[in-house]
Structure 1
Amino acid sequence: MTDLTTDPPSGAEHDDEYVVIPPESSRARKVAWVLGGIGAFAVLVLLVGGIWLMRQIDPAGAGEEVTISIPKGSTTSQIASLLEREGVVTNATVFRYYVRWKDAGPFRAGLYDGLRKRSAMGDVVSRLEAGPLPPKYTELPIPEGFWLQEIRARILETFPQMSAAELDVALADIRSRYQPPSASLEGLLFPATYRVEEGDELDEQKLVRQMVSTFEEVASELGLDQATQKLEGVAGARQLTPYEVVIVASMVEEEAKVPEDKPKIARVIYNRLAAGMPLGIDATVLYALGEHKEQLTRSDLQIDSPYNTRRFPGLPPTPIASPGRESLEAALNPAEGPWLYYVLTDEEGHHYFTDDYDDFLRAQRDARARGLL
C-alpha cells in the first residue's frame, strides 16, 4: 500500500511552485527622489515667480509725481515702454500683458498728470482710461460779417509768429469749390472760433484750408449745392448760382441785426432783383469804401463802384462779408412776403417791412425822430 502523506524526497526541485522575491531596487528610489525634487523646485519657482510678478504689478511705495505726454498714434506697446522709461511702471512687458488681461485701452494721446513713479499698474490703467488733460490752445475768433482783410489782420494779430507773406500765399492759392476763377476767398471763410493746440506747428496753409473746408461743410449741409432747385419758385432768385446766393447771404449778414429779420431781408433782396430795382444796401457802399462808418455822406453814396448798390442794379460782384449759418440759411429759405423796403424800428435791431414806398417814408421819418437813423 502506498503512503500518500509521505514528504517529497529530499533534494527534489519544484521550480514551478515557488517564486523568489528580489530585494527592492536602488534605481526606483533614485527616480522617486528626483521627481520629488523637481516638483519641489517647480513649486518654489512658481512661488518666487508669483511674488516677483506681484511686485511688478503692485510695487511698494509709489514715488514722486510724473506728468507724461503720449504722442498721437502710440500703440499700447509704445505707451508701456514710455511708462517704463519714465519709471511709472517697473516692467513694460508685464504692463502690456496686464492691460490685455484687464481688457483695457486703447489709450488716447495727450498729456497725463497724477501718475507716480513705481505706481501700481491698476492705478496707471485707471488714470489712462480717464483720458488726457484738456489740451492747451490759442483761440482764433472770427466774427460773422468780417471782411477778408479783417480776417487776415485777426490771424496775424492772434499769431504774430506767422508770416504775413505766407498767409497771403495761402489766401491766394487755396480755393473753395464755390469760388469763381477770378474771385478771392471773400465770404468763403466760415466765421467761427478756431483753436490751435499748444505744440502744433503754425501752418498758414492748414489754417486757411480749415476755414474753407468748414464753410464748405456748413454750406453743403444747408443745401447750397442745390441752390437753383431750392430757389426755383422765388422770383428774383431763379438761376442764381451757389456763389451768388453766398453774395446775398453776405448782404443779409450785414443788414440784419436780429435773427428773425434775416429771412425777410433775403426776400426783400430777391423781390428787388425781380423788380429790377437797385438793392440800395448801404453795407455794399461801405465795402466799396473799404472802411466802417456810422453815417454815409452824399459823396460816399456816389462812389463809382460795382459794389455801390444804390447806383447800380443787380448783385455786387462778390460777397461783402463772411456770412454765418443763419444768413446762409435765410438766403436759401427766404420768408414769404411782398416787401421791398425795411426800416429800423428799435435799438434791439428789429426792422419794419413794407412794400409801399409812402409807408416806408413814414417809417423812416419816425425812426429818425426817435434817433434810430
Structure 2
Amino acid sequence: MTEYGRSPGSEPWNPEDPLYGDQGWGGQQAAAGHTPYGGQPQQQYPQPTQQQYDGRQAPYQQDPYQQDPHQQQYPQQPQQQDPYQQQYPQQQQQYNQQQYNGAWDTGQQAAMPYGTTPADPYGAQQPGYADESADYYRTPEAYPPPQPPGRRRPEPEAEPEPEAEADWQAEAPQEEKHPFFTGDDGRDDDSEYDDDPRESRRAGGGRERRGKTKKKSRNGCACLVVSLVLAGGVGGVGYFGYQFWQGQFGAAEDYTGAGSGTVQVVIPEGAGGSVIGNLLKEKGVVKSVDAFVSAQNQNPKGKTIQAGVYTLNKEQSAANAVTAMLNPSSRNALIIPEGQRNVRIYEQIDTRLALKAGTTSAVARAEAKNLGLPGWANNHANVKDPLEGFLFPASYPIAKGTKPEEVLRQMVARANEEYREVGLESKAKQLGLKDPWQLLTLASLVQVEGKTHDDFRKMSEVVYNRLKPTNTETNQLLQFDSAFNYLKGQSKIDISESEINSNQDPYNTYTQRGLTPGPISNPGNEALAAALNPTKDGWLYFVATDGMSKTEFAKTHAQFLKLKDKFDASQGKN
C-alpha cells in the first residue's frame, strides 16, 4: 500500500484487513461516497505514485479499467496483459461486459480491478519482475475470484471451530440451561467426548443425547422445587390468615380449670383490666390478656378488683382468676383505714413482712426526711412522729421480701398526691391558718372525733370557731379527748378531769391553746374535704351522747351542759 492510502480503483483489500467486508458483495462494491464507474462518465487521470522494487522505480501506470469511448483519452504507459484475463478469458470478457453495461442487480461497480495484486496498487506487472508479483487467485491458499450475483453458488458448509460452534449455538433457540433448572454444574464425568465438542456430534451426538435425558430429569426436579416453594407460600398465607381471623373473630386463648401451684401478683393502684391481664399473663396465671379482659367484663363485679397482693393459682381459666381476685381471702394487700395512727401502721407492716416488732418504727424515725415528705412538713417543734398524717389511708400491695422503707415511701407518695389534688397548700391561708401543716393537723382531729360525713363538717366548724381570738367561751382551748389519748397512746372515752387538767403536754388540748404540734392520725378524703369546707352554723360544742357513735352539737355552754348530762346517763353515772 502506498503512502497515499486506499482510494477508489487502487489495490484490492485482503479479507483479513479489518475494513474488509465494507465493500458490498465479495468486496466488489464501490466505496461509499464515490461514483461507480458504471455510472456517469468520468475522466481518469494517472496518479503520480512511486513504487520501489529492489531500488528501481516503477513507471506510472494507467487505471486498468477501460475508458468509455466518449471520454477523453490521455497518453498512458503501456499496460501488461492481465493474468486473470489470460487464464479465464471468457469470464473476464463477460465480467467486463456486465461491469460496463451496468446490468448487475447491485447497481454498483467494483472498487478494484481483478488484474491487480496487493503488491501492485496500479495493477500492472513490471517488466522483468513477473516472479516478484504473485497472483493471489492462483495459489492454493487464495480466495476464489468474486462472481457476479447471477453465477454465485453456495459455499460448502465448513465445520465450525469450537468458538464458531458457540456462536452457532447462540443463534439457534437454546434449551434452558440455568443451573437452577438443569442442576448442571458444567461437568459430566460420563462423557467420552468432553475434549472435543465436534467429535461428540460426529460420534452420533452421544453426549448431547445423554445430556438431554439428564436435563429432562433435572427440569423435573426444578419444577418439584418450585412447586414445593409455592405450596409453602400458600400454606404460610393460609396460616397467617387463620391467625388473623382468630385474632379478630376467634375466641382468645385460655386455660381451663382452677389451675395448680401458687404465685403472688402485685396489682398497683389504678390498674385497669389490660394492665391486670398483662401482670397475670407474665406470672403464668392466665394464658392471654384478651381472655382476662373478656372474663372481667362478663363478671358483674369484675370492675371492682382493687390494688393489692394476690395469691393465685397458675394456669387457671380467666373466669376463675377474676372470681379469685374478688375474694378477700386471696388478697394480700395492707389496708390502712382512715384515722389510724402511725404506731398501729408500723405494727401491721412488721407483721406482714415477718419482721421483729419495732423494726418499721425505728426505720421511720431514722429515715423520715428521706421518704419524700414535702418541705412544709419538716422542722416543726414538739412533733412526736414526723410521718404522722402522711401514711395515707389506702390499700398497699406488700409482697414477701419487701423492705419497710419501701412500704413507707409508697404511703408518703400517695399522701402527697392526695394533698396536691385537694389543694391543701393553696387553701390554708384562705381559711385563716398559718400553713398546710396546720390544715392537715385540723383534718386529723376531725377524722378522729367525727363519725359521719355530716359530723366531719360540724366538727370542722367547731375547731375553726374555737381557734378564733374572739372566742371567750373556751378561750381557744379545743378540749379534745382524742388528742390526750394520742399522747398517751390509748383510746379511752371516760377520762377524769383531774388527769387531763394536770397534764401539760403540748398535745393536751385541755391545757394548751390552739392546735396540737402535728397531726394525731392519718385523715382520709372525707375529713380533708370537711376541713376545707366547714359548716357556718355557729357550732361550738359537741358530745358523744351514747359514748360511741352518736355525736350531738351545741352552740352555747348551757346546751352543752344538757348534752353532758345525757352522756353521763348513758354511762350510768346518775
Q: TM-score range by the shorter chain?
A: 0.5 to 0.7
- Taking the aligned partners of 2:169 and 2:339, their CA distance within structure 1 comes to 110
Q: Is the 8 A contact 2:388 2:520 kept in 1?
A: yes
Which residue of 1 is the match for residue 456 of structure 2? 262
Match of 2:492 in 1: 293
1:239-288 CA deviation, whole Å, 9 max, x = no partner?
Answer: 32100111111111111111211011111111111023311111111112
| 1:190 paired residue number | 392
One-letter code of the match for 1:245?
A: L
- Count of residue correspondences: 305
What CA deviation, in whole Å up to 9, does each residue of 1:28-60 have, x standing for no partner? Answer: 2344994865454222233256558978999xx
Q: State the Cα deviation string for residues 148-202 of structure 1 (Å, max 9, x = none).
A: 2111111112221478546522453234114122441112211222122x4x640
What secondary structure does 1:174 align onto?
Answer: helix
Q: Secondary structure at the match of 2:527?
A: helix
Gap change, CA 1:15 and 1:283, over 3 Å in 2: farther
SS in 2 for 1:243: helix
2:174 to 4, 17, 28: 28
Structure exhibiting the larger radius of gyration computed from Cα positions: 2
Cα distance in 1 between the residues matched to 2:572 and 2:151: 145
Check conservation: 2:349, 2:404, Cα contact below 8 A.
no
Corresponding position of 1:239: 433
Query: Distance between the aligned counterparts of 1:15 and 1:46, measured in 2?
Result: 56
Q: 1:284, 1:51 → 2: CA distance?
A: 78
What is the CA distance between 1:142 and its match in structure 2? 1.6
* Aligned mates of 1:164, 1:34 — CA distance in 2: 84
CA–CA distance in structure 2, aligned partners of residues 159 and 219 of structure 1: 28
Corresponding letter in the other structure for 1:108: N
Q: CA separation in 2, counterparts of 1:42 and 1:363?
A: 100
What is the SS of the residue equivalent to 2:283?
strand
Residue 280 (1) aligns with residue 280 (2): no
Match of 1:153 in 2: 347
Distance 1:268 1:23, change over 3 A: closer
Equivalent position amino acid for 2:488 in 1? L
More helix as a share of residues: 1
Question: Given the alignment of the two structures, is residue 181 of structure 1 paired with residue 379 of structure 2, yes or no?
Answer: yes
Matched, 1:138 2:336: no
Find the partner of 1:207 among 407, 423, 434: 407
Give the secondary-structure state (helix, strand or coil) at the position aligned to 2:278. coil
Q: Alpha-carbon deviation of 1:203?
A: 2.0
Which residue of 277, 283, 294 corresponds with 1:111? 283
2:538 alignment counterpart: 338
User: By how many angstroms is 1:304 displaced?
Assistant: 2.4
- Counterpart contact for 1:345–1:372, Cα < 8 Å: no
Distance in 2, Cα, partners of 1:172 & 1:261: 37
CA positional deviation for 1:294: 3.2
Pick 1 or 2: higher relative contact order, CA cutoff 8 A, min separation 6.
1
Alignment partner, residue 95 of structure 1: none
- Alpha-carbon distance between aligned partners in 2 of 1:203 and 1:162, rounded to the nearest angstrom: 13
Superposition map of 1:35-46 within 5 A: 37=220, 38-46=222-230
The CA distance in 1 between the partners of 2:415 and 2:363, in whole Å, is 19
Partner of 1:75: none
SS of aligned partner of 1:108:
helix
CA RMSD of aligned residues (A): 4.3
Secondary structure in 2 matching 1:194? strand
Residues 40 and 280 of structure 1: CA distance in aligned 2, closer, same or farther (over 3 Å):
same
Instruction: Encode CA deviations 1:202-253: one digit per residue, 9 max, x unaligned.
Output: 022221011111111111111101133441xxxxxx1321001111111111
1:324 aligns with 2:524: yes
Quickly say closer, same or farther: Cα 1:363–1:319, change in 2 above 3 A: same
- Give the distance between the partners of 2:337 and 2:485, measured in 1 at CA: 18
| Alpha-carbon separation, structure 2, partners of 1:308 and 1:208 | 28
> Compared with structure 1, are the counterparts of its residues 129 and 24 closer, same or farther at alpha carbon in structure 2 (3 Å cutoff)?
farther
Q: Superposition pairs for residues 1-150 of structure 1, below 5 Å?
A: 28-31=174-177, 34=181, 37=220, 38-48=222-232, 108-109=278-279, 110-113=282-285, 138-150=332-344
Tell me, what secondary structure is at the counterpart of 1:322? coil
Aligned-pair identity in percent equals: 26
1:226 aligns with 2:420: no
Aligned CA distance change for structure 1 residues 364 and 170 (closer, same or farther; 3 Å)? closer
Query: Does the aligned pair in 1 maintain the 2:347–2:357 contact within 8 Å?
Result: no
Distance 1:363 1:286, change over 3 A: same
- Which whole-Å CA distance do the structure 1 matches of 2:408 and 2:572 have between them? 38
- Going from structure 1 to structure 2, the CA distance change for 1:13 and 1:34 (only over 3 Å counts) comes to farther
Q: How far apart in 2 are the matches of 1:164 and 1:26?
A: 101
